A and B are shown apart, each in its own frame.
Chain A
């Protein structure tokens, strides 16, 4: 599977994400600079990494969401290409309108950096097929703006359509209904605040993130 990792000025998880993707797929992803306007041909996964794109100026993810490459990402997403946004990548996807809602300052105002418990809310997605629905996993978070908010109708729709992918099992950042990750209406775009690429090897302190990439590889190459 050919993957592209989008790199913005201020991205800082791009290399970790590339290492994780290569470890699971065996193929080195293409690093795509934000000013590029085209993605590599036959890209099977677009990954938007964590970090502080544009120094979080204006709002987290706001500037990155308007950068040239995002037109190509939006077009690819509309055609069904899987798009995975982690942490700042999730913020970029909401700012770009590829996912509903917004990620606001953590309710406790503190930057939160620790492993957190997550419940996999659905295994019925290309991103979560290697997990069991209802399974508890542990994946690290590291964010200041992870407080997911949307209007009640949107939240009800997300829940009703099985589009909440992950939920925090404890209080982390004030997110509405403890939402940690959501899918778009066609299921090919996932945004999540926790960092699965930081839970890949035993040396990371946990390997619960690995199955996200393994399941995705199976789903995309099946």
Chain B
């Protein structure tokens, strides 16, 4: 094909894509002269160029469209009909371009129909508003982003400078001249100076060569590592640096924002909402997230397909939505972000969700499973059937989707790039597809470790630190039944032994290296047998036979030529059974109101004491878990004691049925407060679980708050507050007499009896006089009645009146304006802290942060005294 023509087709196609998007934006924001100007300019360029190359058919169409748009520019309303007509014209232009590309000439036929429509539209909208003045246009500064396929000259130049190779530079095509050059001279020449077009093959080959170079460099490094004093060391270091930079430059040339794949979606959604009579809002987040070009190409179609599906099947009609109490306008939300060496793309809608029953019926009808098998599957497992080839649940085949080529095609494409797709659906609330794509062919820094005699790579990106654990050393691995934890800077870090995760036999649990890893908000330790070094590795996708293993994200060839597996930190996180994303809320912040503390998952320590029924206590209240030799337990003054860290620690039994052991190891839950510690004697520590703490049945039994269902078992929630005074009562009374002339008084407001019961003894133990209220109005009444307090502690999330309103009310009353108020909340975010500060809180403490609360109290009351 003629170079000029080829250039024209490429450029025009790109311009048209932009016009598509801009027009939809314009329709929603008809007063934005800037958008309109941009569209006008693009269409004008197309028209001008067509005239120049001699493409009469295109020129006539572009001219007619331009005339109509000229009217918009003169201030006439951009009606839905008019925009639809222009979009139709653009589609026609695209069709002509397609055949132009194939046959190198304009196809036969004419466009009199469209042109006549366009002209009629011009007359129609011009008629009523003929007298309207033309709007003024804002000055236009062109800041065009790089187009798909273009790379910034800087990146390319850097990549090339590092090699001795003659760069293959294509001469930038001369901007096409036209009869009206002056108007868009700057637009045509500016990008040409900043970027050049390079064929994708050139980039691909460059990338392959760089990958080879990296591998060779790694081999050299491996050789030099074995020889201590090598004269190769310095030049090799230099080679290594150059390779790294070269690699980075080349990688950059391949990266493109995912927004490029989303470009067509606003137009598609607009057309669909017209066609289906639904109101649809398309939200796009993270369009700037960069993705390998190859990967981008492959996910473009699946994404489009899924958005269509959401619009067609997912979202209800406005009438249905109104009946369900949902906003009429449905939402489709696309988001993309990086997470632990992967790119996560989510497509969520707030529609009806998957129809589990229909999927079941279809799966049985298609013979994918028997009725008996299906009854055993969880809802999530049933939903996975939509990825099976030929599976479509749409009852009616519409023109939009539901043609039987559905999610299986999507899955296939994603499989090809080594990705995974998952679906979460909540009936009536929405559907969320989560696509996880590894950075294929990417080169990442990884920590090489050993576990069970094999080496593995852990992506450096998710590694926080390395800790050496030794029995008797500073960092000890501690056991709670089958769970191991590490005490690291006053926190209990859950541990998983890589060897066990990978199915090898249990062995030494005391020693090892702990790779502290962070995935999202979750931090945990991966215990490995040895740590070698870090190495830049070329990530290669796993063979499709191995891709289902969640523990691995890929494999790689090391410098010494051996193949090793790359650990997927997300997979490890999931193995802990409490991955952050497992709590999916379709449509995320759309429907769900922020739950109160009781609805949020709490880490609970489950143990047995005195009976077979499990008992539990919030893990955050426990300072330590100990197992002591029963012979060390002494009986003094009728009470069980043990010498612990140079002090006598009283042992308390939760009920008479619990016996302090005479021999063997006695498990203890240690609760500390300042220098005082007490221990609760238990028979057996069972597990640490994450669950909602929802006390369903209260209890009259002292020491038991009530019963809750935890991991499917009725479990007694122990009231630590009951036991603390049993151990301490006489202690702090004596201490108070010495140090505190008058106990300071605290007003505690919390709607949850659990927290009131838990905090009152804690505060009493710390030497405060506590008055507890179940609601903010009740507390305000007390203050109004003139009861004096030194400090107020209040929960934030409460019915009737929340903590913020309460604090404002306290501030507003001159009698209590100076009273320190401390907020207690299960949600501590920068946002809420800021809001709290404005409402007049003196301090903001997390609900389970006992130490923090005592410290804040001490600070406020001491301040009060000093003042």
Do chains A and B stick together as partners?
A: no
